[in-house]
Chains A and B, each alone.
Chain A
């Protein structure tokens, strides 16, 4: 055996020729709700998690409100700097690429999104947004429940995918095993290069009949099997795609470039999760948040340029979320502490661009925090029903009106 020279994971999977005869079936056509336009079966949702709690007030800036400058004396964005949306609102000055997308009618901004009795803990509030269950502990994610309900082909190992090291709770499902893939590079089994070990691995690694019992045994065997099969297939499946945009060399840029490649390779993938952050700006907020918003804005622009060049922009909806907005008043460290409601963005050729809802009041507050006007479960229900064409019953508990923000 030759000494392997790789730095862990440096496989050359991307050079493998595209193989269209894979065992991955194309997604089965699924029934859509009556009255909905057809074609819901090749739609994709890109969920962008703005980790750490993004400060909504300095993202969509209410520069027309006097009160904004009273609560943000040091870190407020001046009227001169904002990217004007209307007489009252403007975007953070670092979001120029994003503003261009807004101007083209491809961005919906939903203001004041939150939930009742908001939790100020990152962990609990993240969990609430991921499970869509503010009032109880739920072991599956809201998108995991969508995947479970969507009759997706079991043979497809890429019904959904997280561009992440660790699977986010939003994608935890009962039936669908969702891989977390930080990057295609390294997504492969080095021993596969040796025929004897490749075949021995495939039978040993999936053998769950061990002389002991363990609650994790079958899960480990299944994931080992998926790891080998999935990693053999994925590079071949996406190799034919030619990226057609200049992505910024940032984490979110690389994540969205991979997302576009997967969307464009038509693997039947319904959901792709990417993350960006950390927006947890307790101190010296401006430098960090400005950089993160610029990275997000530039990466999203490249993403949609790439999607459009391949005709995928209309079937790809992108939605951002963050576990909470931040306190209205800045703190002594020129930062902001954990708050409550904040804006969400929905982006793509399928949205009706514009601003939804009024800007939340900065005078009528919930103990120093913005009161929510739109429950986030309304936005989720809109995605499930109007984008994916599935009833939201059993996915989003409770009755939440959908919003008319999709074309």
Chain B
């Protein structure tokens, strides 16, 4: 699978690169406000969209960039401790303790259950933050960094606490410097375990982290040689993690560090891992790498090389600081262009969190986590170090069925009806008015006249023999069904 979406998914039409990143001065309305909230966050509730549309575009972006430091949300999952460590130890000593097979089996099952409890708790914690936060761009950047500097909890012995600690690196530095993040993950226990650096030593340098740092995190393939991989792997020897008995955490193992001379990307010296990060961020390929990543994530897929270069210049000028970079990008002409509008496929997390927000739901259910898994994206569990491919890779018959069934599950649930007052408030309107409301609120009007007419016919009882026209008797049920059908229109899959 390629990390780069196929060229056929670049929007048609041509780019005016000279003005692409200049501030947007065109008309401002609910449609564009919703676009901004979908991209820079996870979509808006009807109220949030109205509020954002009511302020000037600069103020709307400013509110996203200068987010409140304290969101008042829980800082950690409810269940996080490694409380199966004790059981693990019992298993390790099964022989000396004389445990029989049945007991061993029972302990193993208990470990599995406890682990799943923690897993559910931590995934729900982050999703609930995305849904409820007053700082949506912070969580969105968190997801961006998670998909860039990837690790996956439970793999390679990464504990839930280590995964959450890493998650806070991304949240605390959400709009900080990409270079700082690279330094921090180079000393992050989850990362050092995930890419085997914790096991690397001077006699057998493990190349996994050194390679992916360049290939997938900062430069991209063809911007370094195999020799650079070997030399930087030497520089990262000794970047290790304390064992659980010593409380975990980063540990620089001087004895295992190769402090000899290395030649890396054309420079020579007794480099350590921090030097390697600094040299990488002096490469012209680095700002281009982050520019391409940001454009693919926030603007459109397969951005033109000229546009990549233009944003790379902004990134380099701002010394990899994301606050000014994102501020420029979210105010830009290209961001509000028709070419960018609905030009991305919603990721499963965007799809699910956005739908929760639309209906005023605040707490993800276990069923929702299962659905996310089958849509192909669970936070804390990227499928590989490459993160999620995004774009066309989200789309196949299976994932589409799960998306539709997830929406059906929500609209038929009681909790949805309690929270989603905008849907059925007031006396039943005409089918025409109900259609306008649904298409306006859910799709910002992005439905064809033919589909709007079809939806109106559904609301008026087409294909259902018993109940006929919209009335007090069938209003709630019909509105639920119509909300589902509105979200079945292709526009709802697009960001």
List A residues at the B interface (Cβ < 8 Å). Answer: 1-4, 6-9, 120-124, 126-127, 130, 137, 139, 157, 165-169, 178-182, 186-191, 194-197, 199-201, 203-205, 207-217, 219-221, 223-224, 226-227, 230-231, 282-283, 331-333, 337-338
List B residues at the A interface (Cβ < 8 Å). Answer: 1-3, 6-12, 156, 196, 199, 201, 203-204, 206-208, 211, 215-216, 221, 226, 300-301, 338, 341-345, 367, 370-371, 374, 376, 383-386, 389, 391-393, 395-402, 404-406, 408-409, 412-414, 445-448, 450-451, 454-455, 457-458, 462-464, 477, 480-481, 484-486, 488-491, 493-494
Chain A minimum-CB-distance residue to B461: A196
Contacting residues, chain B, for A120 (C-beta < 8 A):
207, 211, 226
In Å, the complex CA distance between A189 and B494 comes to 20
The answer to whether A282 and B206 touch (CB under 8 A), given A123-B384, A226-B397, is: yes
- B10, B383, B404 — most chain A CB neighbours (10 Å): B404
The smallest C-beta distance from A230 to any residue of chain B, in angstroms, reads: 5
In Å, the complex CA distance between A401 and B173 comes to 54
Beyond A180-B397, A224-B490, 19 extra complex contacts between A and B, CB < 8 Å: A1-B481, A9-B402, A121-B211, A166-B399, A179-B396, A181-B398, A182-B398, A187-B398, A191-B404, A197-B484, A200-B457, A210-B447, A211-B445, A215-B343, A224-B493, A226-B397, A333-B196, A333-B206, A338-B208
Q: Which 5 A-B pairs have the closest CB atoms?
A: A196-B463, A179-B397, A220-B490, A227-B397, A227-B400
Selected contact of A190 from candidates B211, B341, B405, CB within 8 Å:
B405
Main secondary structure of the interface of A (DSSP, over half): loop
Q: Is the CB–CB distance between A207 and B409 below 8 Å?
A: no
Question: Could you list 11 A-B pairs, sorted by A, with CB under 8 Å?
Answer: A7-B370, A9-B405, A121-B215, A166-B383, A169-B1, A182-B398, A191-B484, A207-B448, A207-B451, A332-B199, A337-B208
Chain B minimum-CB-distance residue to A179: B397
The smallest C-beta distance from B474 to any residue of chain A, in angstroms, reads: 10
The smallest C-beta distance from B413 to any residue of chain A, in angstroms, reads: 7
Q: Is the CB–CB distance between B396 and A8 below 8 Å?
A: no
The smallest C-beta distance from B480 to any residue of chain A, in angstroms, reads: 6
In Å, the complex CA distance between A205 and B343 comes to 18
Q: Is the CB–CB distance between B393 and A166 below 8 Å?
A: yes
Selected contact of A210 from candidates B12, B221, B446, B458, CB within 8 Å:
B446
The answer to whether A186 and B374 touch (CB under 8 A), given A139-B2, A196-B458, is: yes
Selected contact of A215 from candidates B301, B406, B485, CB within 8 Å:
B301
Selected contact of A214 from candidates B11, B204, B414, CB within 8 Å:
B11
Q: Is the CB–CB distance between B345 and A216 below 8 Å?
A: yes
The smallest C-beta distance from A58 to any residue of chain B, in angstroms, reads: 18
Selected contact of B199 from candidates A8, A178, A182, A283, CB within 8 Å:
A283
Chain A minimum-CB-distance residue to B491: A210
Contacting residues, chain B, for A223 (C-beta < 8 A):
395-397, 400
Chain B minimum-CB-distance residue to A367: B226
Contacting residues, chain B, for A187 (C-beta < 8 A):
397-398, 401
Q: Is the CB–CB distance between A283 and B196 below 8 Å?
A: yes
Chain B minimum-CB-distance residue to A157: B397
Contacting residues, chain B, for A179 (C-beta < 8 A):
396-398
Contacting residues, chain B, for A194 (C-beta < 8 A):
481
Contacting residues, chain B, for A213 (C-beta < 8 A):
11-12, 338
In Å, the complex CA distance between A331 and B237 comes to 14
Contacting residues, chain B, for A226 (C-beta < 8 A):
397
Q: Is the CB–CB distance between B401 and A188 below 8 Å?
A: yes
The answer to whether A212 and B342 touch (CB under 8 A), given A204-B451, A205-B488, is: yes
- A1, A137, A139 — most chain B CB neighbours (10 Å): A1
Q: Is the CB–CB distance between A186 and B341 below 8 Å?
A: no
The answer to whether A139 and B6 touch (CB under 8 A), given A1-B480, A205-B490, is: yes
The answer to whether A4 and B458 touch (CB under 8 A), given A211-B448, A216-B343, is: no
In Å, the complex CA distance between A316 and B3 comes to 32
Contacting residues, chain B, for A220 (C-beta < 8 A):
345, 395, 490, 493-494
Q: Is the CB–CB distance between B384 and A165 below 8 Å?
A: no
Selected contact of A124 from candidates B156, B221, B481, CB within 8 Å:
B221
Q: Is the CB–CB distance between A207 and B489 below 8 Å?
A: yes
